[in-house]
Structure 1
């Protein structure tokens, strides 16, 4: 198995069919099933496992994506304490996972978050089954203890990095893991994120929810993502305020996302909007369950993250729908957005730069924005699809399982 700097752009990988997982049970472990990128990828991989003839178990506290998981044939094994970072809970969860592995005849365990990954790691060592990890983010490690805590994500027999940015980060941070890293970018589900598959009923439902049934005759700028400081909602409001102060109020900014209990942050955003008298131009609409339709009624998509995105799913999904995006110039978004070709990249936290990029996009003739959008769609279709992610992930499973069969003895990286 070649592990050095593989990507979904490899023709041999992007075109291969799913391996046969008949008789195999794969257990993915993730804290919860909220609507984030890691959680959605978990469901997508569960779907592929079932389609490949395997059984897909997900150990999790559950959440918003449970219905989707059930629809694709995945099975939830609920454990409310899996998100806990309490060492005692982590140790107890390891024992619980060990029981699940034995009871359900689990063939391989795949961990997607640090606290439950420690539980999964210890359970895999006790039961002698393969341990795979996906490194979903550039975790902060400001102390030796935190560096060790994060290291569990680099202890897999194979360590999946969800972008070239993350692959490089792992190799630098944990050099001993470098030859076990496989780059498998997150993908976009082209069945959902293609303009022709979105119905007018879907669009109308968004318009009804956001605008009481009448779409404004102004460009709609969408910033989707949970309401948290590092996703850049404050910076976006400040950039739009700057546009308004310069006389440009011909736009609507939509902040679509769940605050997940961060009510103080939401209140702060509302206060910023009210202070600038922009409540008619900037709307906080809460969680959106139909992002494809939300993007399809929009003209420009923003992702002004203040920290490096491991991948940059928002830009990829918007690109698939032929929308230009404006993103922060760091992390995985450097891979999903080609500057000046499929969108614009600006320095993170630079209000002036973000404001200028938005103004530039708004001033582009519609035909020019459409050309940029079509180039974005081609870029995503060629490099970042769910089908590629699924095939490559299951390819990792098949190779690791075959390796175990060949050696009849499994050793974990320490």
Structure 2
């Protein structure tokens, strides 16, 4: 009997992050739909999770960046395509994408790419380097914002471009599925003060994610600022801790690091903030918060313009404007609880209609079926 069609996803490694998470979600959908799901990468702690959903991992040094590595990886991928009868190569990153493109052209396999971000062009030759991501038989953009950048830079036609937003697992991110014990564990670990509203910024602690803007907004909300939880890790942490001390916000801010129970964390928040000062390609934490019935205040740029509807599922403010953010936080927290709850319900309804993992998986499988 002929084997079912095989799809090989290619990325640098399986350590952590949204690209890796999306790879596993698509591998799971492939397996459940009767395809053979393979992933090639340099490996990492998420390999076990990938194999648990029924996919096969092939270890290749796809995290290395050199002309020799590109050539060797392209040969290895072409050999894998021939040995496994792979019909589609799906590249999720630029340097491994060049190896995958060369392997696809040598073998006759179809080539798919996903733009997970908006790549900079600040160095000579960068546009050419980035262009591998528009050389697919199909090119997937993770938001309307990313698609607009692709069309502007590369004049890519609608015959090859597909917009597939990222999704949230609405089973895991379900308010009714979070037990009181999970909430109490986090509340205790973080030493949340009782009787104070909680504003949460779930993001890597990097400068452009806007945590410093939120701190400045809190300082403007004295004498009764809400309690802020800056959830995440990153190289900007020490600078943020210094800023907290300089602003006298030690009793008003917690930096608990990475949280392994994001549904419970978001449910502890009265309000979730997205404060990025650069355009976000998508911003999955926004839809995760909305899935947990939490309205979001988001920077008015990038993909959150698509996921946060002003006054309906949340609010948008100018990026980097601490005064505007402070005013929006105050307005949101001054709303009657039932009005804020209504916004949260509308936010979850919007996620269920447009931004689920199941919808993302189905749309991606449709792209594969087009090419088969």
Aligned to 1:312: 283
2:98 to 105, 113, 118: 118
Query: Is 1:397 aligned with 2:361?
Result: no
Deviations, residues 249-303 of structure 1 (Å, cap 9, x unaligned): 3x221111132xx2xx211111111222222221111111221111112111111
The equivalent of 1:345 in structure 2 is 316
Structure 2: runs of 5+ lacking an equivalent:
none
**Aligned positions, number:** 371
Structure 1 segment 5-404 matched on structure 2, within 5 A: 23-79=4-60, 81-143=61-123, 145-211=125-191, 216-244=194-222, 247-249=223-225, 251-259=226-234, 262=235, 265-401=236-372
Residues 118-144 of structure 1 deviation map (CA, whole Å, 9 limit, x = unaligned): 111111112210110011111112345
| Cα distance change on mapping 1:91 and 1:281 into 2, 3 Å | farther
Cα shift at 1:162: 1.0
Spell out structure 1 runs of 4+ moving beyond 6 A. none
Structure 1 residue 164: Cα displacement: 1.4
Cα distance, 1:62–1:364 mapped onto 2, change above 3 Å = farther
Q: TM-score w.r.t. structure 2 length?
A: 0.94
Asked if structure 2 preserves the Cα contact closer than 8 Å seen for 1:221 and 1:252, the reply is yes
- The answer to whether the 8 A contact 2:71-2:99 is kept is yes
Q: 1 CA distance for matches of 2:218 and 2:63?
A: 37
> SS state of the match for residue 107, structure 1?
strand
Q: 1:258 to 1:75 in 2, by over 3 A?
A: farther
Q: Does the Cα contact within 8 Å between 2:10 and 2:89 map onto a contact in 1? A: yes
What CA RMSD, in Å, does the superposition of the two structures yield over aligned residues?
1.9
Shift of 1:173: 1.0
Q: Is the 8 A contact 2:150 2:156 kept in 1?
A: no
Separation in 1 of the partners of 2:327 and 2:279? Answer: 21
User: Residues 103, 383 of structure 1: CA spacing in aligned structure 2 closer, same or farther, 3 A cutoff?
Assistant: same
CA–CA separation in structure 2 for the residues paired with 1:230 and 1:202? 31
- Greater RCO (CA < 8 Å, at least 6 residues apart): 1
Partner Cα distance (1:161, 1:22) in 2: 30
Change (3 A) 1:284 1:78: farther
The answer to whether the 8 A contact 2:199-2:273 is kept is: yes
The CA distance in 2 between the partners of 1:352 and 1:215, in whole Å, is 25
**2:272 is paired with a residue of what secondary structure?**
strand
Distance 1:275 1:63, change over 3 A: farther
Deviation by residue 1:275-332 (Cα, 9 ceiling, x = unmatched): 2222222111111122111111211111111111111211111111110001111111
Deviations along 1:33-92, one digit per CA (max 9) or x if unpaired, are: 34422221111111101101122222223345334323322233233x423333332333
| 8 Å contact from structure 1 (residues 337, 343) kept in 2 | yes
> Deviation of residue 203 (structure 1)?
2.2
| Unpaired stretches in structure 1, ≥5 consecutive residues | 1-20, 402-414
Using the alignment, how far apart are the partners of 2:203 and 2:339 within structure 1? Answer: 27
Please say if residues 210 and 276 of structure 2, whose CA atoms lie closer than 8 Å, have aligned partners that are also in contact: yes
TM-aligned CA distance change 1:156 to 1:351, over 3 Å: same
Query: TM-score, normalising length from structure 1?
Result: 0.85
- My pick for the range that moved more, 277-286 or 182-191, is 277-286
